[in-house]
Structure 1
Amino acid sequence: MKKILASLMTALSLSAFASGGGVAWDRFPTEKMSDMAALQNGAKLFANYCLNCHSAAYHRFNRLQEIGLTKEQIKDNLMFTTDKVGEQMKSAIDPKEAKAWFGATPPDLTLVARSRADGAKGTGADYLYTLWRSYYRDDTKATGWDNLVFPSIGMPHVLWELQGERKPVFEEREEHGHKVHVFTGRWDVVKPGQMSAQQYDSAVGDLVAYLNWMAEPQQKQRFSLGVGVLVFLGIFALFAWRLNAVYWKDVK
Protein backbone atom coordinates (compact mmCIF):
# COMPACT_ATOMS: atom_id res chain seq x y z
CA MET A 1 0.00 0.00 0.00
CA LYS A 2 2.86 2.37 0.85
CA LYS A 3 4.45 1.72 -2.54
CA ILE A 4 1.14 2.34 -4.30
CA LEU A 5 0.63 5.62 -2.45
CA ALA A 6 4.20 6.67 -3.15
CA SER A 7 3.74 5.85 -6.82
CA LEU A 8 0.54 7.89 -6.95
CA MET A 9 2.21 10.83 -5.21
CA THR A 10 5.11 10.73 -7.65
CA ALA A 11 2.77 10.45 -10.64
CA LEU A 12 0.72 13.43 -9.45
CA SER A 13 3.83 15.49 -8.86
CA LEU A 14 5.24 14.67 -12.27
CA SER A 15 1.88 15.22 -13.95
CA ALA A 16 1.70 18.68 -12.44
CA PHE A 17 5.32 19.21 -13.40
CA ALA A 18 4.65 18.09 -16.98
CA SER A 19 1.60 20.33 -17.22
CA GLY A 20 3.91 23.26 -16.63
CA GLY A 21 5.88 22.40 -19.76
CA GLY A 22 8.19 19.74 -18.33
CA VAL A 23 11.85 20.05 -17.48
CA ALA A 24 13.86 22.41 -19.65
CA TRP A 25 16.43 20.75 -21.87
CA ASP A 26 20.07 21.59 -21.24
CA ARG A 27 22.18 22.62 -24.19
CA PHE A 28 24.39 19.90 -25.60
CA PRO A 29 28.05 21.03 -25.90
CA THR A 30 28.23 21.22 -29.71
CA GLU A 31 32.01 21.65 -29.73
CA LYS A 32 32.28 17.92 -29.08
CA MET A 33 31.05 17.26 -32.63
CA SER A 34 34.44 18.34 -33.98
CA ASP A 35 36.42 16.53 -31.26
CA MET A 36 37.58 13.12 -32.53
CA ALA A 37 38.57 11.96 -29.04
CA ALA A 38 35.06 12.77 -27.78
CA LEU A 39 33.45 10.89 -30.70
CA GLN A 40 35.68 7.87 -30.11
CA ASN A 41 34.88 7.82 -26.39
CA GLY A 42 31.19 8.16 -27.26
CA ALA A 43 31.44 5.15 -29.57
CA LYS A 44 33.07 3.19 -26.74
CA LEU A 45 30.29 4.14 -24.31
CA PHE A 46 27.65 3.25 -26.89
CA ALA A 47 29.16 -0.19 -27.55
CA ASN A 48 29.58 -0.96 -23.84
CA TYR A 49 26.35 0.42 -22.40
CA CYS A 50 23.77 0.82 -25.18
CA LEU A 51 24.44 -1.92 -27.70
CA ASN A 52 23.53 -4.61 -25.19
CA CYS A 53 19.83 -3.81 -25.65
CA HIS A 54 19.59 -1.28 -28.49
CA SER A 55 20.62 -1.75 -32.11
CA ALA A 56 21.93 0.76 -34.60
CA ALA A 57 21.03 -1.46 -37.52
CA TYR A 58 21.32 1.31 -40.14
CA HIS A 59 24.98 1.82 -39.25
CA ARG A 60 27.96 -0.48 -39.76
CA PHE A 61 31.01 -0.95 -37.57
CA ASN A 62 33.42 -0.08 -40.38
CA ARG A 63 32.04 3.48 -40.54
CA LEU A 64 33.76 4.10 -37.21
CA GLN A 65 36.95 4.47 -39.23
CA GLU A 66 35.58 7.88 -40.21
CA ILE A 67 36.08 9.11 -36.64
CA GLY A 68 39.69 7.95 -36.54
CA LEU A 69 39.44 4.36 -35.33
CA THR A 70 41.35 1.55 -37.04
CA LYS A 71 39.82 -1.80 -37.93
CA GLU A 72 41.92 -3.41 -35.19
CA GLN A 73 40.66 -0.95 -32.56
CA ILE A 74 37.07 -1.54 -33.66
CA LYS A 75 37.44 -5.32 -33.53
CA ASP A 76 39.32 -5.40 -30.22
CA ASN A 77 37.28 -2.85 -28.26
CA LEU A 78 33.82 -2.34 -29.76
CA MET A 79 32.59 -5.52 -31.42
CA PHE A 80 30.77 -7.86 -29.05
CA THR A 81 27.93 -9.11 -31.26
CA THR A 82 29.83 -10.04 -34.44
CA ASP A 83 33.35 -10.67 -35.68
CA LYS A 84 32.91 -8.96 -39.07
CA VAL A 85 33.77 -5.27 -39.18
CA GLY A 86 31.38 -4.72 -42.09
CA GLU A 87 28.36 -5.98 -40.15
CA GLN A 88 25.51 -3.81 -38.90
CA MET A 89 25.53 -2.69 -35.27
CA LYS A 90 22.90 -5.04 -33.85
CA SER A 91 22.07 -5.54 -30.19
CA ALA A 92 23.16 -8.56 -28.19
CA ILE A 93 19.74 -9.13 -26.63
CA ASP A 94 16.90 -11.09 -28.19
CA PRO A 95 14.05 -8.65 -29.06
CA LYS A 96 11.42 -11.01 -27.60
CA GLU A 97 13.29 -11.24 -24.30
CA ALA A 98 13.76 -7.47 -24.23
CA LYS A 99 10.03 -6.93 -24.72
CA ALA A 100 9.25 -9.38 -21.91
CA TRP A 101 11.67 -7.64 -19.53
CA PHE A 102 11.01 -4.00 -20.37
CA GLY A 103 7.46 -4.12 -21.70
CA ALA A 104 8.52 -3.00 -25.19
CA THR A 105 11.26 -3.76 -27.68
CA PRO A 106 14.12 -1.27 -27.21
CA PRO A 107 14.09 1.07 -30.23
CA ASP A 108 16.85 1.29 -32.80
CA LEU A 109 19.11 4.25 -31.98
CA THR A 110 20.62 5.00 -35.38
CA LEU A 111 18.51 8.12 -35.90
CA VAL A 112 17.45 8.88 -32.32
CA ALA A 113 19.43 12.14 -32.21
CA ARG A 114 17.41 13.47 -35.17
CA SER A 115 14.02 12.08 -34.21
CA ARG A 116 13.79 13.67 -30.77
CA ALA A 117 14.06 17.33 -31.76
CA ASP A 118 11.51 19.78 -30.38
CA GLY A 119 11.34 23.25 -31.87
CA ALA A 120 10.30 24.78 -28.56
CA LYS A 121 12.83 22.98 -26.35
CA GLY A 122 15.86 22.20 -28.48
CA THR A 123 17.53 19.61 -30.68
CA GLY A 124 17.51 15.86 -30.33
CA ALA A 125 21.04 16.12 -28.95
CA ASP A 126 19.78 18.50 -26.24
CA TYR A 127 17.05 15.99 -25.37
CA LEU A 128 19.45 13.05 -25.05
CA TYR A 129 22.01 15.11 -23.13
CA THR A 130 19.35 16.07 -20.58
CA LEU A 131 17.73 12.62 -20.49
CA TRP A 132 20.87 10.78 -19.38
CA ARG A 133 21.46 13.36 -16.67
CA SER A 134 17.91 13.26 -15.27
CA TYR A 135 17.59 9.75 -13.83
CA TYR A 136 16.75 9.17 -10.17
CA ARG A 137 15.95 6.19 -7.98
CA ASP A 138 12.30 5.20 -7.69
CA ASP A 139 11.61 1.85 -6.04
CA THR A 140 7.99 1.98 -7.17
CA LYS A 141 9.10 1.44 -10.78
CA ALA A 142 9.82 -2.00 -12.21
CA THR A 143 13.35 -0.97 -13.16
CA GLY A 144 13.99 0.92 -9.92
CA TRP A 145 14.52 4.16 -11.86
CA ASP A 146 12.53 7.09 -13.19
CA ASN A 147 13.42 10.13 -15.26
CA LEU A 148 12.36 13.77 -15.17
CA VAL A 149 12.53 14.17 -18.95
CA PHE A 150 10.72 10.90 -19.67
CA PRO A 151 8.48 10.02 -16.68
CA SER A 152 7.88 6.27 -16.22
CA ILE A 153 10.64 5.48 -18.70
CA GLY A 154 11.04 1.77 -19.37
CA MET A 155 14.81 1.95 -19.76
CA PRO A 156 16.86 1.59 -16.56
CA HIS A 157 19.75 3.91 -15.81
CA VAL A 158 22.55 1.91 -17.44
CA LEU A 159 25.13 4.58 -16.61
CA TRP A 160 24.28 4.73 -12.89
CA GLU A 161 27.61 3.29 -11.76
CA LEU A 162 29.34 6.19 -13.50
CA GLN A 163 26.98 8.89 -12.23
CA GLY A 164 25.92 7.45 -8.88
CA GLU A 165 22.47 7.96 -7.40
CA ARG A 166 20.73 11.32 -7.07
CA LYS A 167 17.29 12.61 -6.26
CA PRO A 168 15.65 15.76 -7.65
CA VAL A 169 14.69 18.57 -5.33
CA PHE A 170 11.10 19.80 -5.74
CA GLU A 171 9.38 22.76 -4.18
CA GLU A 172 5.68 23.16 -3.60
CA ARG A 173 3.96 26.07 -5.35
CA GLU A 174 0.41 27.17 -5.79
CA GLU A 175 -0.79 27.65 -9.36
CA HIS A 176 -4.39 28.43 -10.29
CA GLY A 177 -5.53 27.47 -6.81
CA HIS A 178 -3.77 24.08 -6.86
CA LYS A 179 -0.58 22.98 -5.18
CA VAL A 180 2.01 21.59 -7.59
CA HIS A 181 5.52 20.25 -7.17
CA VAL A 182 8.05 22.03 -9.35
CA PHE A 183 11.61 20.87 -10.01
CA THR A 184 14.08 23.44 -8.66
CA GLY A 185 16.94 22.43 -10.94
CA ARG A 186 18.91 21.06 -7.98
CA TRP A 187 19.84 17.48 -7.16
CA ASP A 188 20.81 15.82 -3.88
CA VAL A 189 23.55 13.20 -4.10
CA VAL A 190 22.40 9.91 -2.56
CA LYS A 191 25.42 7.82 -3.56
CA PRO A 192 28.48 9.07 -5.48
CA GLY A 193 29.48 7.32 -8.68
CA GLN A 194 32.78 6.45 -10.28
CA MET A 195 32.90 9.89 -11.93
CA SER A 196 32.53 13.41 -10.61
CA ALA A 197 29.53 15.40 -11.83
CA GLN A 198 31.73 17.25 -14.35
CA GLN A 199 33.31 14.04 -15.63
CA TYR A 200 29.92 12.38 -16.02
CA ASP A 201 28.46 15.36 -17.90
CA SER A 202 31.47 15.27 -20.21
CA ALA A 203 31.07 11.52 -20.80
CA VAL A 204 27.37 11.95 -21.61
CA GLY A 205 28.33 14.77 -23.98
CA ASP A 206 30.72 12.35 -25.73
CA LEU A 207 27.99 9.71 -26.03
CA VAL A 208 25.47 12.19 -27.43
CA ALA A 209 28.08 13.56 -29.84
CA TYR A 210 28.58 10.06 -31.18
CA LEU A 211 24.83 9.45 -31.52
CA ASN A 212 24.49 12.78 -33.30
CA TRP A 213 27.31 11.86 -35.68
CA MET A 214 25.87 8.37 -36.24
CA ALA A 215 22.49 9.86 -37.19
CA GLU A 216 24.16 11.80 -40.01
CA PRO A 217 27.84 10.95 -40.61
CA GLN A 218 27.97 13.23 -43.67
CA GLN A 219 26.79 16.31 -41.78
CA LYS A 220 30.12 18.15 -42.03
CA GLN A 221 30.46 17.38 -45.72
CA ARG A 222 26.87 18.53 -46.29
CA PHE A 223 27.54 21.83 -44.56
CA SER A 224 30.78 22.32 -46.52
CA LEU A 225 29.03 21.51 -49.79
CA GLY A 226 26.21 23.92 -48.91
CA VAL A 227 28.67 26.75 -48.27
CA GLY A 228 30.43 25.99 -51.57
CA VAL A 229 27.13 26.05 -53.47
CA LEU A 230 26.16 29.40 -51.92
CA VAL A 231 29.54 30.89 -52.82
CA PHE A 232 29.17 29.62 -56.39
CA LEU A 233 25.66 31.05 -56.69
CA GLY A 234 26.88 34.39 -55.34
CA ILE A 235 29.69 34.59 -57.92
CA PHE A 236 27.35 33.40 -60.69
CA ALA A 237 24.79 36.06 -59.73
CA LEU A 238 27.48 38.75 -59.98
CA PHE A 239 28.52 37.60 -63.46
CA ALA A 240 24.86 37.31 -64.53
CA TRP A 241 24.17 40.85 -63.31
CA ARG A 242 27.13 42.29 -65.24
CA LEU A 243 26.28 40.25 -68.36
CA ASN A 244 22.72 41.52 -68.18
CA ALA A 245 23.98 45.10 -67.97
CA VAL A 246 26.25 44.61 -71.02
CA TYR A 247 23.49 42.92 -73.04
CA TRP A 248 20.96 45.73 -72.49
CA LYS A 249 23.29 48.72 -72.52
CA ASP A 250 22.42 49.68 -76.15
CA VAL A 251 18.70 49.08 -75.74
CA LYS A 252 16.73 52.27 -75.20
Structure 2
Amino acid sequence: MKLLKKLIAAAALLPTLVFASAGGFPLDRAPERHDLASLQNGAKLFVNYCLNCHSAASMRYNRLRDIGLTEDQIKNNLLFTSDKVGDLMKTSMSPADAKTWFGAVPPDLSVITRARSSADGSGADWIYTYLRTYYRDDTKPTGWNNMVFPSVGMPHALWELQGVRTAKFVDAKDPHDPKKTVHAFAGFEQVTPGKMTTLEYDTAVADLVSYLSWMAEPGATKRKQLGVIVLLFLSLLMVLAWRLSASYWKEVK
Protein backbone atom coordinates (compact mmCIF):
# COMPACT_ATOMS: atom_id res chain seq x y z
CA MET A 1 0.00 0.00 0.00
CA LYS A 2 2.85 2.42 0.82
CA LEU A 3 4.51 1.66 -2.53
CA LEU A 4 1.21 2.28 -4.34
CA LYS A 5 0.87 5.66 -2.61
CA LYS A 6 4.42 6.57 -3.66
CA LEU A 7 3.66 5.65 -7.27
CA ILE A 8 0.49 7.75 -7.26
CA ALA A 9 2.35 10.70 -5.70
CA ALA A 10 5.19 10.51 -8.21
CA ALA A 11 2.76 10.30 -11.11
CA ALA A 12 0.84 13.29 -9.75
CA LEU A 13 4.01 15.35 -9.54
CA LEU A 14 5.04 14.53 -13.09
CA PRO A 15 2.14 15.39 -15.40
CA THR A 16 4.34 17.61 -17.53
CA LEU A 17 6.82 14.78 -17.98
CA VAL A 18 4.15 12.62 -19.53
CA PHE A 19 3.34 15.29 -22.09
CA ALA A 20 7.04 15.94 -22.69
CA SER A 21 7.63 12.34 -23.70
CA ALA A 22 4.74 12.63 -26.12
CA GLY A 23 6.62 15.40 -27.92
CA GLY A 24 8.25 12.88 -30.21
CA PHE A 25 11.95 13.13 -29.33
CA PRO A 26 13.36 9.61 -29.91
CA LEU A 27 14.37 7.77 -26.76
CA ASP A 28 17.63 5.82 -26.55
CA ARG A 29 17.52 2.33 -25.09
CA ALA A 30 18.97 2.33 -21.58
CA PRO A 31 21.73 -0.30 -21.25
CA GLU A 32 20.90 -3.04 -18.76
CA ARG A 33 23.71 -2.75 -16.23
CA HIS A 34 22.60 -4.67 -13.15
CA ASP A 35 25.93 -5.98 -11.86
CA LEU A 36 26.95 -4.89 -8.36
CA ALA A 37 29.74 -2.58 -9.55
CA SER A 38 27.31 -0.64 -11.75
CA LEU A 39 24.69 -0.40 -9.02
CA GLN A 40 27.29 0.79 -6.51
CA ASN A 41 28.53 3.47 -8.90
CA GLY A 42 24.93 4.49 -9.55
CA ALA A 43 24.32 4.78 -5.79
CA LYS A 44 27.39 7.03 -5.47
CA LEU A 45 26.19 9.28 -8.29
CA PHE A 46 22.70 9.40 -6.81
CA VAL A 47 23.92 10.50 -3.38
CA ASN A 48 26.40 13.04 -4.75
CA TYR A 49 24.28 14.62 -7.49
CA CYS A 50 20.58 13.83 -6.91
CA LEU A 51 20.04 13.66 -3.18
CA ASN A 52 20.76 17.37 -2.71
CA CYS A 53 17.33 18.22 -4.15
CA HIS A 54 15.43 14.93 -4.52
CA SER A 55 14.46 12.54 -1.76
CA ALA A 56 14.13 8.78 -1.92
CA ALA A 57 11.83 8.41 1.06
CA SER A 58 11.07 4.73 0.44
CA MET A 59 14.73 3.72 0.69
CA ARG A 60 17.01 3.45 3.72
CA TYR A 61 20.77 3.71 3.48
CA ASN A 62 21.25 0.29 5.06
CA ARG A 63 19.35 -1.30 2.17
CA LEU A 64 22.44 -0.59 0.06
CA ARG A 65 23.93 -3.69 1.67
CA ASP A 66 21.81 -5.59 -0.88
CA ILE A 67 24.08 -4.29 -3.65
CA GLY A 68 27.27 -5.43 -1.93
CA LEU A 69 28.19 -2.42 0.23
CA THR A 70 29.24 -2.92 3.82
CA GLU A 71 27.93 -0.74 6.64
CA ASP A 72 31.35 0.92 6.96
CA GLN A 73 31.45 1.70 3.23
CA ILE A 74 27.99 3.28 3.48
CA LYS A 75 29.02 5.35 6.52
CA ASN A 76 32.33 6.52 5.08
CA ASN A 77 31.27 7.21 1.49
CA LEU A 78 27.54 7.80 1.18
CA LEU A 79 26.29 9.35 4.42
CA PHE A 80 26.11 13.03 5.21
CA THR A 81 27.44 14.13 8.59
CA SER A 82 24.15 14.03 10.49
CA ASP A 83 22.72 10.91 8.83
CA LYS A 84 22.66 7.38 10.22
CA VAL A 85 22.78 4.08 8.34
CA GLY A 86 19.18 3.28 9.24
CA ASP A 87 17.83 6.66 8.08
CA LEU A 88 15.65 7.20 5.05
CA MET A 89 17.22 8.92 2.06
CA LYS A 90 15.74 12.38 2.49
CA THR A 91 16.93 15.76 1.29
CA SER A 92 17.57 18.58 3.71
CA MET A 93 16.01 21.13 1.34
CA SER A 94 12.58 22.28 2.49
CA PRO A 95 9.59 21.98 0.12
CA ALA A 96 9.03 25.75 0.37
CA ASP A 97 12.58 26.53 -0.79
CA ALA A 98 12.33 23.94 -3.56
CA LYS A 99 9.13 25.49 -4.89
CA THR A 100 10.68 28.97 -4.78
CA TRP A 101 13.84 27.93 -6.62
CA PHE A 102 12.46 25.43 -9.13
CA GLY A 103 8.76 26.31 -9.38
CA ALA A 104 7.75 22.89 -8.01
CA VAL A 105 8.90 20.43 -5.38
CA PRO A 106 11.35 17.94 -6.99
CA PRO A 107 9.68 14.51 -7.12
CA ASP A 108 10.71 11.68 -4.87
CA LEU A 109 12.98 9.35 -6.85
CA SER A 110 12.23 6.14 -4.94
CA VAL A 111 9.83 4.95 -7.61
CA ILE A 112 10.55 7.33 -10.50
CA THR A 113 11.31 4.59 -13.06
CA ARG A 114 8.12 2.71 -12.18
CA ALA A 115 6.10 5.94 -12.29
CA ARG A 116 7.51 6.71 -15.74
CA SER A 117 6.84 3.15 -16.91
CA SER A 118 3.23 3.28 -15.75
CA ALA A 119 2.82 6.63 -17.54
CA ASP A 120 3.98 5.63 -21.02
CA GLY A 121 6.03 2.45 -20.75
CA SER A 122 9.39 4.13 -21.35
CA GLY A 123 10.68 4.19 -17.77
CA ALA A 124 14.45 3.78 -17.73
CA ASP A 125 14.76 4.75 -21.42
CA TRP A 126 13.14 8.12 -20.77
CA ILE A 127 15.40 8.95 -17.82
CA TYR A 128 18.51 7.72 -19.66
CA THR A 129 17.78 9.95 -22.67
CA TYR A 130 16.66 12.87 -20.51
CA LEU A 131 19.92 13.00 -18.53
CA ARG A 132 21.93 12.94 -21.77
CA THR A 133 20.07 15.64 -23.73
CA TYR A 134 20.63 18.77 -21.65
CA TYR A 135 22.01 21.82 -23.44
CA ARG A 136 22.86 25.41 -22.60
CA ASP A 137 20.00 27.87 -23.20
CA ASP A 138 20.43 31.39 -21.82
CA THR A 139 16.78 32.22 -22.49
CA LYS A 140 15.69 29.92 -19.67
CA PRO A 141 15.74 30.91 -15.96
CA THR A 142 18.19 28.11 -15.05
CA GLY A 143 20.31 28.60 -18.16
CA TRP A 144 19.54 25.04 -19.28
CA ASN A 145 17.06 23.29 -21.54
CA ASN A 146 16.39 19.69 -22.47
CA MET A 147 15.37 17.92 -25.68
CA VAL A 148 13.20 15.31 -23.95
CA PHE A 149 11.63 17.78 -21.50
CA PRO A 150 11.55 21.25 -23.13
CA SER A 151 11.66 24.22 -20.74
CA VAL A 152 12.57 21.92 -17.88
CA GLY A 153 12.73 23.58 -14.47
CA MET A 154 15.57 21.38 -13.23
CA PRO A 155 19.11 22.61 -14.03
CA HIS A 156 21.70 20.19 -15.39
CA ALA A 157 23.00 18.57 -12.20
CA LEU A 158 25.62 16.52 -14.06
CA TRP A 159 27.03 19.31 -16.24
CA GLU A 160 30.50 19.09 -14.70
CA LEU A 161 30.72 15.48 -15.85
CA GLN A 162 29.25 15.99 -19.32
CA GLY A 163 30.53 19.50 -20.00
CA VAL A 164 28.60 22.38 -21.55
CA ARG A 165 26.82 21.83 -24.86
CA THR A 166 24.54 23.86 -27.07
CA ALA A 167 21.87 22.51 -29.39
CA LYS A 168 21.90 23.20 -33.13
CA PHE A 169 18.62 23.74 -34.96
CA VAL A 170 17.90 24.19 -38.67
CA ASP A 171 14.79 25.24 -40.56
CA ALA A 172 13.20 22.32 -42.39
CA LYS A 173 9.92 21.50 -44.08
CA ASP A 174 7.21 20.04 -41.89
CA PRO A 175 6.85 16.36 -42.97
CA HIS A 176 3.10 16.63 -42.34
CA ASP A 177 2.62 19.92 -44.20
CA PRO A 178 5.25 20.90 -46.83
CA LYS A 179 3.99 24.49 -46.78
CA LYS A 180 5.13 24.93 -43.19
CA THR A 181 8.65 25.23 -41.81
CA VAL A 182 9.72 23.67 -38.53
CA HIS A 183 12.72 24.27 -36.28
CA ALA A 184 14.42 20.87 -36.48
CA PHE A 185 17.05 19.57 -34.08
CA ALA A 186 20.41 19.05 -35.81
CA GLY A 187 22.62 17.77 -33.01
CA PHE A 188 24.71 19.08 -30.12
CA GLU A 189 27.88 21.15 -30.16
CA GLN A 190 30.39 20.78 -27.30
CA VAL A 191 31.34 24.20 -25.89
CA THR A 192 33.52 23.13 -22.97
CA PRO A 193 34.62 19.57 -22.15
CA GLY A 194 33.47 17.77 -19.04
CA LYS A 195 35.36 15.59 -16.61
CA MET A 196 34.25 12.54 -18.60
CA THR A 197 34.34 11.56 -22.25
CA THR A 198 31.03 10.97 -24.02
CA LEU A 199 31.34 7.21 -23.56
CA GLU A 200 32.26 7.55 -19.87
CA TYR A 201 29.34 9.91 -19.27
CA ASP A 202 26.85 7.63 -21.03
CA THR A 203 28.12 4.71 -18.94
CA ALA A 204 27.79 6.73 -15.73
CA VAL A 205 24.22 7.72 -16.61
CA ALA A 206 23.42 4.08 -17.39
CA ASP A 207 24.72 3.14 -13.92
CA LEU A 208 22.59 5.86 -12.32
CA VAL A 209 19.47 4.75 -14.20
CA SER A 210 20.13 1.13 -13.24
CA TYR A 211 20.36 2.16 -9.61
CA LEU A 212 17.09 4.11 -9.86
CA SER A 213 15.45 1.04 -11.39
CA TRP A 214 16.82 -1.16 -8.61
CA MET A 215 15.72 1.32 -5.94
CA ALA A 216 12.16 1.29 -7.31
CA GLU A 217 11.99 -2.46 -6.68
CA PRO A 218 14.97 -3.83 -4.72
CA GLY A 219 13.44 -7.28 -4.53
CA ALA A 220 13.00 -7.62 -8.29
CA THR A 221 16.10 -9.81 -8.78
CA LYS A 222 15.13 -12.24 -6.02
CA ARG A 223 11.55 -12.28 -7.30
CA LYS A 224 12.71 -13.23 -10.79
CA GLN A 225 15.04 -15.91 -9.40
CA LEU A 226 12.19 -17.33 -7.34
CA GLY A 227 9.97 -17.30 -10.42
CA VAL A 228 12.52 -19.37 -12.34
CA ILE A 229 12.73 -21.89 -9.47
CA VAL A 230 8.92 -22.18 -9.32
CA LEU A 231 8.69 -22.73 -13.08
CA LEU A 232 11.37 -25.44 -12.93
CA PHE A 233 9.54 -27.13 -10.06
CA LEU A 234 6.24 -27.03 -11.96
CA SER A 235 7.95 -28.45 -15.04
CA LEU A 236 9.34 -31.34 -13.01
CA LEU A 237 5.94 -31.88 -11.40
CA MET A 238 4.31 -31.93 -14.85
CA VAL A 239 6.73 -34.64 -16.05
CA LEU A 240 6.09 -36.76 -12.94
CA ALA A 241 2.31 -36.32 -13.31
CA TRP A 242 2.53 -37.27 -17.00
CA ARG A 243 4.51 -40.47 -16.28
CA LEU A 244 2.22 -41.35 -13.36
CA SER A 245 -0.83 -40.91 -15.58
CA ALA A 246 0.72 -43.08 -18.31
CA SER A 247 1.53 -45.81 -15.78
CA TYR A 248 -2.00 -45.69 -14.34
CA TRP A 249 -3.78 -45.99 -17.67
CA LYS A 250 -1.40 -48.75 -18.76
CA GLU A 251 -2.62 -50.90 -15.87
CA VAL A 252 -6.26 -50.08 -16.69
CA LYS A 253 -5.85 -51.27 -20.27
The one-letter amino acid of 1:144's match is G
Query: Given the superposition, is the C-alpha separation of residues 174 and 20 from structure 1 closer, same or farther in structure 2, using an over 3 Å criterion?
Result: farther
1:150 matched residue in structure 2: 149
Q: 1:173 to 1:118 in 2, by over 3 A?
A: farther
1:40–1:100 distance in 2 versus 1, CA, 3 Å: same
Q: Is the 1:81–1:90 contact (alpha carbons within 8 Å) kept by the matching residues of 2? A: no
Structure 2 residue aligned with 1:170? 169
Deviates more, 1:209-218 or 1:81-90: 81-90
Partner residue of 1:188? 189
Summarize the alignment of residues 53-68 of structure 1 with structure 2, pairs less than 5 Å apart. Answer: 53-68=53-68
Taking structure 1 as reference, are residues 187 and 228 closer, same or farther at Cα in structure 2, changes over 3 Å only? same
Larger CA deviation: 141-150 vs 110-119: 110-119
> TM-score scaled by structure 1?
0.84
Matches within 5 A, 1:214-225: 214-225=215-226
Corresponding position of 1:24: 26
Total equivalences in the alignment: 231
Compared with structure 1, are the counterparts of its residues 228 and 133 closer, same or farther at alpha carbon in structure 2 (3 Å cutoff)?
A: same
For 1:71 and 1:20, locate their aligned partners in 2 and report how far apart those are by CA, in whole Å. 42
SS of the equivalent of 1:181 reads strand
- Please list, as runs of the form range in 1=range in 2, the aligned pairs for 1:1-252 lying within 5 A after superposition: 21-30=23-32, 32-34=33-35, 36-80=36-80, 82-117=82-117, 123-175=122-174, 176=177, 177-184=179-186, 186-249=187-250
SS where residue 34 of structure 2 aligns? helix
Q: For residues 77-133 of structure 1, what are the alpha-carbon distances to aligned partners after superposition, in whole Å with 9 as ceiling and x for unaligned?
A: 21127431011000121111101111111110001122212797x641111111110
Give the distance between the partners of 1:118 and 1:221, measured in 2 at CA: 22
Give the CA RMSD over aligned residues.
Answer: 2.1
**How big is the shift at 1:173?**
2.2
How far 1:50 sits from its partner (Å)?
0.5
The gaps in structure 2 that reach 5 residues or longer are 1-19
* Structure 1 unmatched ranges of 5 or more: 1-17
- Distance of aligned partners of 1:57 and 1:81 in 2 relative to their CA distance in 1, 3 Å threshold: farther
| Structure 2: distance between partners of 1:126 and 1:158 | 19
